[in-house]
Structure 1
Amino acid sequence: MTISPTKLSDPTVRAVVTAINANDKKAFLALLTPGATMSDDGSERNLEDWIDREIFDSHGHMEVQSESDGGRALVANFRNETWGEMRTAWRFAVDGGRVTRFETGQA
């Protein structure tokens, strides 16, 4: 079962998923704190390079399957033009309505 982004519990995470699915990099970046960090499959990545490659330049899209931790942990089918579709886990650290860190990887 897919959860509509409008039904996600955490408003910041809801806005992040909406920005990803709209391919709206400007809106996505506005949701991050200065110096926000991220990891992919347990490896630290350069956030700006990663989001360009994995989300915005390759038209990434999330279909959320489940949420936990108050909406800050998601399991989603993520697809992009580079890798196709894969089951992924996402965890977001949010402070003051903005993301300070996110971690993603295969679920």
Structure 2
Amino acid sequence: MTIPVDKLSQPAVRTLVAAINAGDREAFDAALTPGATMSDDGSDRNLAEWVDREIFSSRGRMDVQTEKDGGLALVATFRNDTWGEMRTAWRFTVEGGKVSRFDTGQA
């Protein structure tokens, strides 16, 4: 059972996931604070390079399975053209209504 994006509890996370699923890099970037950061499997990554490679150039998409911590922690099936489908965990930090950091990795 997936949670529809428009039903996600946290507005900033909802905006970011909607941008990912729409393939909308401009909306994705607008959902982030200036200087936002991220990590993948515990290692900090260059956010712009990572999202280009893992999401936008490879048609990444998230189907959210569960949310916790007021919508700041998600488990989702993530798929892209490079890696196929995998179960992933996402944790978001929100400041001023935008995502300032996200951490993702296999769940």
The Cα shift of 1:60 comes to 0.2
RMSD: 0.4
Q: For residues 6-45 of structure 1, what are the structure 2 equivalents within 5 Å?
A: 6-45=6-45
The Cα shift of 1:56 comes to 0.3
What amino acid does structure 1 have at the position aligned with 2:56? F
What amino acid does structure 1 have at the position aligned with 2:32? L
SS in 2 for 1:82: coil
What amino acid does structure 2 have at the position aligned with 1:75? V
In structure 1, the partner of 2:61 is 61
SS in 2 for 1:102: strand
1:39-86 Cα distance to aligned partner (Å, 9 max, x none): 000000000000000000000000000000100100000000000000
> CA separation in 2, counterparts of 1:32 and 1:11?
12
What amino acid does structure 1 have at the position aligned with 2:6? T
What amino acid does structure 2 have at the position aligned with 1:95? E
TM-score, scaled relative to structure 2: 0.99
> CA separation in 2, counterparts of 1:72 and 1:58?
25
What amino acid does structure 2 have at the position aligned with 1:104? T
Q: Tell me, which stretches of 5 or more residues in structure 1 are unaligned?
A: none
Q: Which aligned segments of 4 or more residues in structure 1 are displaced greater than 3 angstroms? A: none
SS in 2 for 1:90: strand
Aligned length: 107
In structure 2, the partner of 1:52 is 52
In structure 1, the partner of 2:101 is 101
Identical aligned residues as a percent: 71
> CA separation in 2, counterparts of 1:60 and 1:16?
13
